[in-house]
Amino acid sequence: MFEYINSKQLLVIIILLLSSLLACLCGLFIGSYKIVFLNLFWGLLSPLETEIILNIRGPRVLLAILVGAALGVSGAALQGLFRNPLADPGLIGVSAGAALGAVFAIVVFNSAFLGFYFGIYLVPTAAIFGSLVVICLIYILTSGFNQAGVTYMLLVGIALNAIATVGIGFLTFISSDSQLRTLTFWMMGSLGGATWNLLIPAFFITIITIFVLIFLARKLDIMQLGEIEAIRVGVNVKKVKMLIILASASMIGACVSLSGIVGFIGLVVPHLVRLLGGTNHSFLFIGSALMGITITVLSDLLSRIAIQPAELPIGLATSTLGAPFFLWLVLRLNKK
């Protein structure tokens, strides 16, 4: 796997790793309540500062790490699978399905019996269920990935996104004032609700699926030559497609269930990594995970300190970066 990464790409990965570590430290120590970094090493943190790092900013930074890595890697995987530079995790409808499940839970079940029974796990469980429903629909409607399965999956994903948007709009219309504020903030993305109890299952799902995609990287490189050529050299194309879709959907469902919709990371990050080091997926997956972490953590930091003591939704910060880049990419493709 790593033998396909050249010296230039290794240097880029090291730089991205250092930048992600620096971003995470900034996320932990910078905010409305500033903490001196050196106090950590000298053991001079006050009980309040320790509480802030361990139970407020710590879970939040870890959630930003998971969301950034998941969006970056899944975006790179889907762009490679569809051979479409405009693909992102929302393309196959998983993000919209997870959002619809969460919105349904907030509006319909939050004050009912299920809300008391599931407690803090109600919205994440509903979001994951929504993403799983989308996965099943995609698999059924594309008849198990035949030769035109990827094209059909693209069209089905667009249709499911539209259907989910209608459902979200209807539920938003019938929601109460308090629910409407929660929905608005959640739909724009927020990492403020992160807790260790919620992060544990999301952590394992994200880490496992990222490693699955990394081990599929070489086969995905071969598939860029065409499915017929890949089959000739022994690649099980159907199995690789299935694993990429399931892995991407699982990690996005788990992360969206906790953070809400965070846009453009899955679209922008893989392109930036390609510009830095190349297109082979062994490098691209690792680089996209690290750059996704850096951008998401810094975007969350920006959302926390931009208008203190209030907090901006992180989706606004990522869209500020992603929307101009998306426009540039479309214009660049049009010129080609």
Query: Hey, what are 84's tokens?
Result: 């479409």
Q: What is the pLDDT of residue 155?
A: 79
Q: What is the pLDDT of residue 324?
A: 81
3-state secondary structure of 183: helix
Q: What DSSP assignment string belongs to 152-174?
A: HHHHHHHHHHHHHHHHHHHHHHH
The answer to whether 103 and 168 have CB atoms below 8 angstroms apart is: yes
How far from the centroid of its chain's Cα atoms is residue 110's Cα?
Answer: 25
Whether 96 shows a pLDDT value over 60: the answer reads: yes
Query: Hey, what are 74's tokens?
Result: 């899944």
Which residue, 163, 161, 138, is CA-closest to 151? 138
Whether 329 shows a pLDDT value over 50: the answer reads: yes
pLDDT band at 115 (very low <50, low <70, confident <90, very high): very low
Q: What is the pLDDT of residue 290?
A: 96
Q: What is the pLDDT of residues 137-166, one digit of tens each?
A: 876 776 655 555 566 777 788 888 889 889
More confident residue, 334 or 310: 310
How far apart are alpha carbons 70 and 297 in whole angstroms? Answer: 13
Q: What is the pLDDT of residue 69?
A: 95
Q: What is the pLDDT of residues 56-71, one digit of tens each?
A: 899 999 999 999 999 9
- Let me know how long the chain is: 336
Q: How far apart are the first and last CA of the chain?
A: 32
Whether 267 shows a pLDDT value over 60: the answer reads: yes
Q: What is the pLDDT of residue 312?
A: 83
Q: What is the pLDDT of residues 269-326, one digit of tens each?
A: 998 899 888 889 999 999 999 999 999 999 999 888 888 777 888 888 888 777 787 7
The answer to whether 214 and 285 have CB atoms below 8 angstroms apart is: yes
Domains of the chain: 2-31+59-335 (1.10.3470.10)
Mean pLDDT of 251-273: 86
Whether 215 shows a pLDDT value over 80: the answer reads: yes
The answer to whether 86 and 266 have CB atoms below 8 angstroms apart is: no
How far apart are alpha carbons 233 and 93 in whole angstroms? Answer: 32
How far apart are alpha carbons 176 and 181 in whole angstroms? Answer: 9
The answer to whether 317 and 42 have CB atoms below 8 angstroms apart is: no
How far apart are alpha carbons 269 and 298 in whole angstroms? Answer: 14
Q: What DSSP assignment string belongs to 249-296?
A: HHHHHHHHHHH----SHHHHHHHHHHHHH-S-HHHHHHHHHHHHHHHH
Identify residue 134 by its one-letter amino acid code. V
